[in-house]
Amino acid sequence: MATTAKKAAPRARRKSHQADEAQLAKLAKRSPYALRLTRHKDLPPPVLIIKERIAPEDRDDIEGLTNPRAKHVERGTLHGDSVRACLPVLKRILEEVKDEQGIPLGLESYMSTQGLKRSDLNFPLDEAAGARLALFFRLQTKVKDVDRIELIGRRVAMFSREEAVYWLSNVTTADPALRSWATSGLRMLLCGEAGDKRVPRILEKVRARG
Protein backbone atom coordinates (compact mmCIF):
# COMPACT_ATOMS: atom_id res chain seq x y z
CA MET A 1 0.00 0.00 0.00
CA ALA A 2 2.84 2.39 0.88
CA THR A 3 4.46 1.78 -2.51
CA THR A 4 1.24 2.66 -4.31
CA ALA A 5 0.91 5.92 -2.37
CA LYS A 6 4.46 6.94 -3.27
CA LYS A 7 3.86 6.34 -6.96
CA ALA A 8 0.62 8.32 -6.97
CA ALA A 9 2.05 11.43 -5.29
CA PRO A 10 4.03 12.78 -8.30
CA ARG A 11 0.94 12.55 -10.52
CA ALA A 12 -1.04 14.66 -8.05
CA ARG A 13 1.68 17.31 -7.97
CA ARG A 14 1.77 17.53 -11.76
CA LYS A 15 -2.01 18.03 -11.95
CA SER A 16 -1.82 20.80 -9.35
CA HIS A 17 1.00 22.53 -11.23
CA GLN A 18 -0.95 22.43 -14.47
CA ALA A 19 -4.05 23.83 -12.73
CA ASP A 20 -1.98 26.75 -11.43
CA GLU A 21 -0.79 27.58 -14.93
CA ALA A 22 -4.31 27.29 -16.30
CA GLN A 23 -5.48 29.73 -13.64
CA LEU A 24 -2.67 32.16 -14.53
CA ALA A 25 -3.66 31.98 -18.20
CA LYS A 26 -7.29 32.67 -17.27
CA LEU A 27 -6.31 35.69 -15.18
CA ALA A 28 -4.02 36.96 -17.96
CA LYS A 29 -6.97 37.26 -20.36
CA ARG A 30 -8.54 40.04 -18.30
CA SER A 31 -5.57 41.60 -16.48
CA PRO A 32 -4.32 45.09 -17.54
CA TYR A 33 -1.15 43.51 -18.95
CA ALA A 34 0.00 40.00 -19.81
CA LEU A 35 3.55 38.65 -19.98
CA ARG A 36 4.12 35.72 -22.34
CA LEU A 37 7.02 33.29 -22.07
CA THR A 38 7.44 31.75 -25.50
CA ARG A 39 9.73 30.80 -28.38
CA HIS A 40 10.23 32.67 -31.65
CA LYS A 41 11.95 31.39 -34.77
CA ASP A 42 13.78 34.69 -35.34
CA LEU A 43 14.85 35.37 -31.73
CA PRO A 44 17.19 33.52 -29.34
CA PRO A 45 15.41 31.92 -26.37
CA PRO A 46 14.04 32.63 -23.91
CA VAL A 47 11.59 35.17 -25.31
CA LEU A 48 9.36 37.38 -23.16
CA ILE A 49 6.59 39.41 -24.81
CA ILE A 50 4.48 41.94 -22.94
CA LYS A 51 1.02 42.97 -24.12
CA GLU A 52 -1.38 45.61 -22.87
CA ARG A 53 -5.11 44.95 -22.71
CA ILE A 54 -7.13 47.71 -24.36
CA ALA A 55 -10.75 47.78 -23.15
CA PRO A 56 -13.49 48.13 -25.81
CA GLU A 57 -14.32 51.68 -24.67
CA ASP A 58 -10.65 52.71 -25.00
CA ARG A 59 -10.11 51.37 -28.50
CA ASP A 60 -9.84 53.84 -31.38
CA ASP A 61 -10.54 51.29 -34.11
CA ILE A 62 -14.09 50.17 -33.35
CA GLU A 63 -15.93 52.19 -35.99
CA GLY A 64 -18.29 49.86 -37.80
CA LEU A 65 -18.00 47.10 -35.19
CA THR A 66 -21.29 46.03 -33.62
CA ASN A 67 -19.80 44.21 -30.63
CA PRO A 68 -16.23 45.40 -30.01
CA ARG A 69 -14.12 43.42 -27.57
CA ALA A 70 -10.96 44.11 -25.65
CA LYS A 71 -7.76 43.53 -27.58
CA HIS A 72 -4.14 42.96 -26.58
CA VAL A 73 -1.45 45.21 -28.04
CA GLU A 74 2.20 44.16 -27.99
CA ARG A 75 4.37 46.69 -26.12
CA GLY A 76 7.81 45.08 -26.28
CA THR A 77 10.01 42.00 -26.12
CA LEU A 78 13.07 40.85 -24.19
CA HIS A 79 15.04 37.82 -25.31
CA GLY A 80 18.21 35.75 -25.09
CA ASP A 81 21.12 36.95 -22.95
CA SER A 82 19.23 40.11 -22.03
CA VAL A 83 16.64 38.02 -20.17
CA ARG A 84 19.31 36.06 -18.30
CA ALA A 85 21.22 39.23 -17.37
CA CYS A 86 18.07 40.84 -16.03
CA LEU A 87 16.64 37.99 -13.95
CA PRO A 88 17.03 39.95 -10.67
CA VAL A 89 15.12 42.86 -12.23
CA LEU A 90 12.36 40.62 -13.57
CA LYS A 91 12.01 38.83 -10.23
CA ARG A 92 11.82 42.11 -8.34
CA ILE A 93 8.98 43.40 -10.50
CA LEU A 94 7.05 40.13 -10.72
CA GLU A 95 7.19 39.26 -7.02
CA GLU A 96 4.88 42.21 -6.30
CA VAL A 97 2.04 40.90 -8.49
CA LYS A 98 -0.92 39.64 -6.45
CA ASP A 99 -4.37 38.26 -7.16
CA GLU A 100 -7.64 40.03 -6.30
CA GLN A 101 -7.42 38.78 -2.71
CA GLY A 102 -3.94 40.26 -2.27
CA ILE A 103 -2.19 36.88 -2.41
CA PRO A 104 1.17 36.87 -4.29
CA LEU A 105 1.00 34.85 -7.51
CA GLY A 106 4.63 33.73 -7.26
CA LEU A 107 5.42 34.67 -10.85
CA GLU A 108 9.06 35.31 -9.95
CA SER A 109 9.56 31.55 -9.52
CA TYR A 110 9.46 31.18 -13.31
CA MET A 111 12.38 33.59 -13.73
CA SER A 112 15.04 30.92 -13.26
CA THR A 113 17.21 28.80 -15.53
CA GLN A 114 14.75 25.92 -15.22
CA GLY A 115 11.61 28.05 -15.39
CA LEU A 116 12.72 29.80 -18.57
CA LYS A 117 12.96 26.47 -20.38
CA ARG A 118 9.17 26.48 -20.43
CA SER A 119 7.16 28.04 -23.24
CA ASP A 120 3.62 29.07 -24.07
CA LEU A 121 2.94 30.44 -20.60
CA ASN A 122 0.90 33.58 -19.95
CA PHE A 123 1.27 35.58 -16.74
CA PRO A 124 -1.24 38.20 -15.52
CA LEU A 125 0.21 41.58 -14.54
CA ASP A 126 -1.31 44.51 -12.70
CA GLU A 127 -0.90 48.05 -14.01
CA ALA A 128 2.25 48.80 -12.01
CA ALA A 129 4.20 45.68 -13.01
CA GLY A 130 2.90 45.80 -16.57
CA ALA A 131 3.80 49.45 -17.12
CA ARG A 132 7.30 48.95 -15.67
CA LEU A 133 8.03 45.91 -17.82
CA ALA A 134 6.52 47.46 -20.95
CA LEU A 135 8.61 50.59 -20.44
CA PHE A 136 11.77 48.57 -19.76
CA PHE A 137 11.28 46.33 -22.81
CA ARG A 138 10.58 49.36 -24.98
CA LEU A 139 13.64 51.32 -23.87
CA GLN A 140 16.13 48.45 -24.22
CA THR A 141 15.23 47.84 -27.86
CA LYS A 142 18.31 48.38 -30.08
CA VAL A 143 20.64 48.58 -27.04
CA LYS A 144 23.49 46.09 -27.52
CA ASP A 145 25.37 46.45 -24.22
CA VAL A 146 23.93 44.03 -21.65
CA ASP A 147 25.14 46.24 -18.78
CA ARG A 148 23.17 49.17 -20.14
CA ILE A 149 20.11 46.96 -20.57
CA GLU A 150 20.35 45.79 -16.97
CA LEU A 151 20.82 49.38 -15.80
CA ILE A 152 17.67 50.45 -17.62
CA GLY A 153 15.73 47.60 -16.04
CA ARG A 154 16.96 48.22 -12.52
CA ARG A 155 16.21 51.93 -12.66
CA VAL A 156 12.78 51.46 -14.24
CA ALA A 157 11.98 48.92 -11.50
CA MET A 158 12.38 51.79 -9.01
CA PHE A 159 9.68 53.85 -10.75
CA SER A 160 6.37 54.34 -9.00
CA ARG A 161 3.26 53.13 -10.80
CA GLU A 162 2.44 56.70 -11.78
CA GLU A 163 5.92 57.35 -13.16
CA ALA A 164 5.92 54.14 -15.19
CA VAL A 165 2.45 54.83 -16.63
CA TYR A 166 3.39 58.42 -17.49
CA TRP A 167 6.60 57.51 -19.30
CA LEU A 168 5.04 54.54 -21.07
CA SER A 169 2.37 56.83 -22.49
CA ASN A 170 5.13 59.09 -23.83
CA VAL A 171 7.19 56.34 -25.47
CA THR A 172 4.09 54.82 -27.09
CA THR A 173 2.40 58.03 -28.22
CA ALA A 174 1.03 58.10 -31.77
CA ASP A 175 3.24 60.95 -32.99
CA PRO A 176 6.51 59.36 -34.23
CA ALA A 177 8.65 62.42 -33.48
CA LEU A 178 7.39 62.76 -29.91
CA ARG A 179 7.71 59.01 -29.43
CA SER A 180 11.31 59.03 -30.64
CA TRP A 181 12.29 62.01 -28.48
CA ALA A 182 10.75 60.48 -25.35
CA THR A 183 12.42 57.12 -25.93
CA SER A 184 15.90 58.44 -26.68
CA GLY A 185 15.71 61.07 -23.94
CA LEU A 186 14.64 58.68 -21.19
CA ARG A 187 17.11 56.04 -22.35
CA MET A 188 19.93 58.58 -22.12
CA LEU A 189 18.78 59.57 -18.64
CA LEU A 190 18.73 55.98 -17.40
CA CYS A 191 21.84 54.43 -18.97
CA GLY A 192 23.87 57.08 -20.81
CA GLU A 193 25.21 56.65 -24.32
CA ALA A 194 26.71 53.57 -25.97
CA GLY A 195 30.36 53.18 -25.01
CA ASP A 196 30.11 55.32 -21.86
CA LYS A 197 32.85 53.98 -19.55
CA ARG A 198 30.93 55.09 -16.47
CA VAL A 199 28.11 52.58 -16.96
CA PRO A 200 29.75 49.70 -14.98
CA ARG A 201 30.36 51.96 -11.97
CA ILE A 202 26.80 53.27 -11.94
CA LEU A 203 25.43 49.75 -12.43
CA GLU A 204 27.36 48.51 -9.38
CA LYS A 205 25.95 51.36 -7.29
CA VAL A 206 22.40 50.55 -8.37
CA ARG A 207 22.93 46.82 -7.74
CA ALA A 208 24.14 47.60 -4.22
CA ARG A 209 20.77 49.18 -3.43
CA GLY A 210 19.14 45.80 -3.93
Condensed to tens digits (0 to 9), the pLDDT of residues 92-104 reads 999 999 998 999 9
DSSP per-residue string spanning 16-71: HHHHHHHHHHHHHTTSSEEEEEEEETTEEEEEEEEEEEE-GGG-S--TT-SS---E
Residue-range domain boundaries for the chain? 19-208
Contacts of 198 (CB under 8 A, 6+ apart): 192
Summarised one tens digit per residue, pLDDT across range 175-193 is 999 999 999 999 999 999 9
Distance, CA of 141 to CA of 46 (rounded, Å): 16
pLDDT of residue 3: 47
Q: Strand 33-40 relative to strand 71-79: parallel, antiparallel, unpaired?
A: unpaired
- Better pLDDT: 36 or 64: 36
**What is the number of residues in the chain?**
210
Q: Is 182 helix (H, G, I), strand (E, B) or coil?
A: helix
Write down the pTM of the prediction. 0.86
